[in-house]
Amino acid sequence: MQLFVNPSDELPLYRQIMRQISEAIAGGRLKNGEKLASHRELSEQLVIAPLTVKKAYDELELLGFIETQRGRGTFVSDTPPRASRREQAEQMQETARRLLSQAYLAGLRFPDVVKLLKEADRELGLQRDRDQGPGKKEST
Protein backbone atom coordinates (compact mmCIF):
# COMPACT_ATOMS: atom_id res chain seq x y z
CA MET A 1 0.00 0.00 0.00
CA GLN A 2 1.23 3.47 -0.87
CA LEU A 3 1.44 5.97 1.99
CA PHE A 4 2.14 9.65 1.76
CA VAL A 5 3.24 12.08 4.48
CA ASN A 6 3.49 15.84 4.58
CA PRO A 7 5.50 17.56 7.34
CA SER A 8 3.54 20.80 7.13
CA ASP A 9 0.23 19.02 7.73
CA GLU A 10 -1.65 19.81 10.92
CA LEU A 11 -1.08 16.25 12.16
CA PRO A 12 2.37 15.03 13.24
CA LEU A 13 3.93 12.52 10.85
CA TYR A 14 3.25 9.46 13.00
CA ARG A 15 -0.43 10.36 13.20
CA GLN A 16 -0.63 10.77 9.43
CA ILE A 17 0.70 7.21 9.08
CA MET A 18 -1.72 5.93 11.72
CA ARG A 19 -4.65 7.55 9.98
CA GLN A 20 -3.78 6.26 6.52
CA ILE A 21 -3.24 2.71 7.74
CA SER A 22 -6.39 2.60 9.86
CA GLU A 23 -8.42 4.08 7.01
CA ALA A 24 -6.99 1.53 4.58
CA ILE A 25 -7.98 -1.24 6.98
CA ALA A 26 -11.47 0.19 7.41
CA GLY A 27 -11.83 0.66 3.66
CA GLY A 28 -10.68 -2.87 2.86
CA ARG A 29 -7.56 -1.80 0.94
CA LEU A 30 -5.52 -3.58 3.61
CA LYS A 31 -6.86 -7.07 4.30
CA ASN A 32 -6.87 -8.85 7.63
CA GLY A 33 -3.63 -10.72 8.09
CA GLU A 34 -1.84 -8.77 5.35
CA LYS A 35 1.84 -8.02 5.96
CA LEU A 36 2.93 -4.40 6.42
CA ALA A 37 6.25 -2.85 5.40
CA SER A 38 8.95 -3.08 8.09
CA HIS A 39 9.99 0.01 10.07
CA ARG A 40 13.06 0.25 7.96
CA GLU A 41 11.33 -0.17 4.59
CA LEU A 42 8.64 2.35 5.39
CA SER A 43 11.14 4.82 6.85
CA GLU A 44 13.20 4.69 3.64
CA GLN A 45 10.13 4.79 1.42
CA LEU A 46 8.66 7.86 3.15
CA VAL A 47 12.06 9.42 3.98
CA ILE A 48 11.27 9.82 7.65
CA ALA A 49 13.03 8.67 10.81
CA PRO A 50 12.61 4.97 11.64
CA LEU A 51 11.55 5.99 15.16
CA THR A 52 8.55 7.82 13.71
CA VAL A 53 7.39 4.66 11.93
CA LYS A 54 7.92 2.69 15.12
CA LYS A 55 5.82 5.18 17.06
CA ALA A 56 2.98 4.89 14.51
CA TYR A 57 3.09 1.08 14.54
CA ASP A 58 3.25 0.94 18.34
CA GLU A 59 0.17 3.12 18.65
CA LEU A 60 -1.71 1.14 15.98
CA GLU A 61 -0.84 -2.05 17.81
CA LEU A 62 -2.14 -0.63 21.10
CA LEU A 63 -5.41 0.19 19.33
CA GLY A 64 -5.58 -3.36 17.99
CA PHE A 65 -5.26 -2.59 14.27
CA ILE A 66 -2.01 -4.46 13.73
CA GLU A 67 0.10 -7.14 15.40
CA THR A 68 3.82 -7.62 15.52
CA GLN A 69 4.98 -11.21 15.39
CA ARG A 70 8.50 -11.56 16.64
CA GLY A 71 10.88 -12.35 13.81
CA ARG A 72 8.12 -12.43 11.18
CA GLY A 73 7.04 -8.83 10.86
CA THR A 74 3.95 -6.72 11.32
CA PHE A 75 0.50 -7.78 10.11
CA VAL A 76 -3.02 -6.40 10.00
CA SER A 77 -4.97 -7.96 12.88
CA ASP A 78 -7.40 -10.75 12.14
CA THR A 79 -10.06 -8.76 13.96
CA PRO A 80 -9.19 -5.07 13.60
CA PRO A 81 -11.44 -2.65 15.49
CA ARG A 82 -13.88 -0.61 13.42
CA ALA A 83 -12.90 3.05 13.11
CA SER A 84 -12.82 4.27 16.68
CA ARG A 85 -15.95 5.94 17.97
CA ARG A 86 -14.03 8.97 19.09
CA GLU A 87 -12.43 9.46 15.70
CA GLN A 88 -15.78 9.16 13.98
CA ALA A 89 -17.34 11.59 16.42
CA GLU A 90 -14.52 14.07 15.84
CA GLN A 91 -14.91 13.84 12.09
CA MET A 92 -18.66 14.33 12.32
CA GLN A 93 -18.19 17.35 14.56
CA GLU A 94 -15.90 18.88 11.98
CA THR A 95 -18.41 18.18 9.19
CA ALA A 96 -21.23 19.69 11.25
CA ARG A 97 -19.22 22.85 11.90
CA ARG A 98 -18.47 23.25 8.22
CA LEU A 99 -22.11 22.67 7.26
CA LEU A 100 -23.32 25.25 9.77
CA SER A 101 -20.83 27.93 8.79
CA GLN A 102 -21.73 27.45 5.12
CA ALA A 103 -25.42 27.67 5.96
CA TYR A 104 -24.93 30.86 8.00
CA LEU A 105 -22.85 32.37 5.19
CA ALA A 106 -25.73 31.62 2.83
CA GLY A 107 -28.05 33.52 5.17
CA LEU A 108 -29.87 30.47 6.56
CA ARG A 109 -30.77 30.13 10.20
CA PHE A 110 -30.54 27.12 12.47
CA PRO A 111 -34.18 25.94 12.02
CA ASP A 112 -33.65 26.11 8.23
CA VAL A 113 -30.66 23.79 8.57
CA VAL A 114 -32.68 21.37 10.69
CA LYS A 115 -35.37 21.34 7.98
CA LEU A 116 -32.71 20.58 5.34
CA LEU A 117 -31.36 17.74 7.45
CA LYS A 118 -34.85 16.25 7.84
CA GLU A 119 -35.39 16.39 4.10
CA ALA A 120 -32.03 14.78 3.45
CA ASP A 121 -32.84 12.06 5.96
CA ARG A 122 -36.15 11.32 4.22
CA GLU A 123 -34.44 11.06 0.83
CA LEU A 124 -31.78 8.75 2.19
CA GLY A 125 -34.53 6.59 3.71
CA LEU A 126 -36.29 6.27 0.37
CA GLN A 127 -33.02 5.41 -1.32
CA ARG A 128 -32.25 2.77 1.30
CA ASP A 129 -35.63 1.13 0.70
CA ARG A 130 -34.96 1.10 -3.04
CA ASP A 131 -31.43 -0.32 -2.56
CA GLN A 132 -32.58 -3.07 -0.23
CA GLY A 133 -32.47 -5.73 -2.99
CA PRO A 134 -28.92 -5.85 -4.42
CA GLY A 135 -27.25 -5.59 -0.98
CA LYS A 136 -24.31 -3.38 -0.08
CA LYS A 137 -20.60 -4.05 0.19
CA GLU A 138 -20.53 -3.43 3.89
CA SER A 139 -18.11 -6.06 5.06
CA THR A 140 -15.51 -7.91 3.07
Partner 1 sequence: MTPVLEFENIARSYKRGSPVLNGVTFSVSEGEVVGLLGRNGSGKTTLIRIAMGMLFPHAGSVHAFGVSPTKDPVAVKLRVGYVAEEQVLPGGASIAELIAFHRYLFPSWDAPLERQLLDRFGLQAGAKIKHLSKGEARQAALLLAVCHRPELLILDEPAGGLDAAARREFLEASIMLLNREGTAILFSSHYMADVERIGGRAVLLDGGKVRLDRDLIDLRERVCLAMVPQASAPDAARIERTPGCMRVHAVSDQWHAVFEGAPDEVQRQLASSLPANGVRCIPLSLEELFVELLGGRKGGQS
Binding site for partner 1 (CB under 8 A): 7-10, 12-14, 40, 43-44, 47-51, 55
State the minimum distance, in angstroms, from the CB of residue 6 to partner 1.
Answer: 8
- Cα angle for residues 115, 116, 118 (degrees, 5° grid): 65
Name the residue nearer to partner 1 (CB basis): 85 or 137. 85
Name the residue nearer to partner 1 (CB basis): 105 or 126. 105
State the minimum distance, in angstroms, from the CB of residue 8 to partner 1.
Answer: 5
Q: How far apart are CA 22 and CA 82, in angstroms?
A: 9
Hey, which residues does 35 pair with through a beta bridge? 75
Name the residue nearer to partner 1 (CB basis): 34 or 59. 59
Q: How far apart are CA 22 and CA 1, in angstroms?
A: 12
